[in-house]
């Protein structure tokens, strides 16, 4: 699948079935995250690949859909390495979501519910205290086909030369 098809097909899928992700596919997903832009190229991110069922069960306290997969990729960042660590997480996460879609898998960006008990999840994954554990990406197959949520049309969100100059 090419990039633009992956962008059009990427959807947030919470109803996931476990799937065996070959190492070659996992490496491509992780490499997509690694290649994301990083403010001043500081690269403050680390990725944690979780396959252990007991650890997955602990993370599922953040959101039930995490329990339904056999692979989770967590994204941690060291805010001390870059003032742009949040932007870096977002860029890496989106790259990985697109790679997951392009390879025929499904996922969802888990953040808010993960952060509610961030310290517990950091402890379960051995993430150092000075780092932030911000994102969990469960990787699986969609239990049912899922389309991308409706998006506003370009004609409503693209302004030409100055705000308010919309074209129909």
At residue 84, the pLDDT reads 98
What's domain 3-157's superfamily in CATH? Answer: NADH Oxidase (3.40.109.10)
The pLDDT, as a whole number, for residue 18 is: 97
Residue 105 has pLDDT above 80, yes or no: yes
DSSP secondary structure letter of residue 142: E
Q: Is the pLDDT of residue 168 over 90?
A: no
Average pLDDT, the chain: 97
| pLDDT tens figures, 71-96 | 999 999 999 999 999 999 999 999 99
Q: Number of C-alpha atoms within 13 angstroms, CB side, residue 157?
A: 4
**What's the pLDDT tens digit per position in 16-62?**
999 999 999 999 999 999 999 999 999 999 999 999 999 999 999 99
pLDDT at site 117:
97
pLDDT at 78: 98
Residue spans per domain, the chain: 3-157
> Long-range contacts for 47-55 (Cβ within 8 Å, ≥24 apart)?
47/73, 47/74, 47/75, 47/76, 47/92, 48/73, 48/74, 48/75, 48/76, 48/125, 48/127, 49/73, 50/74, 50/125, 55/124, 55/125
């Amino acid at each position: 699948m090419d990039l633009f098809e992956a962008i059009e097909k990427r959807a947030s899928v919470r109803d996931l079935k476990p799937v065996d992700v070959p190492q070659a596919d996992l490496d491509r997903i992780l490499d997509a995250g690694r290649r994301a832009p990083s403010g001043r190229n500081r690269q403050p991110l680390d990725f944690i690949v979780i396959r252990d069922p007991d650890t997955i069960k602990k993370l599922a306290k953040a959101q039930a859909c995490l329990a339904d997969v056999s692979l989770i990729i967590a994204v941690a960042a060291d805010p001390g390495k870059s003032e742009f660590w949040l932007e870096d997480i977002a860029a890496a996460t989106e790259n990985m979501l697109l790679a997951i879609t392009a390879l025929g898998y499904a996922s969802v960006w888990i953040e808010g519910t993960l952060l509610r008990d961030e310290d517990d999840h950091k402890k379960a994954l051995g993430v150092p205290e000075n780092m932030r554990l911000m994102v969990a990406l469960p990787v699986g197959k969609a239990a049912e086909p899922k389309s991308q949520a409706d998006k506003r049309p370009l004609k409503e969100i693209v302004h030409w030369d100055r705000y308010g100059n919309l074209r129909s």
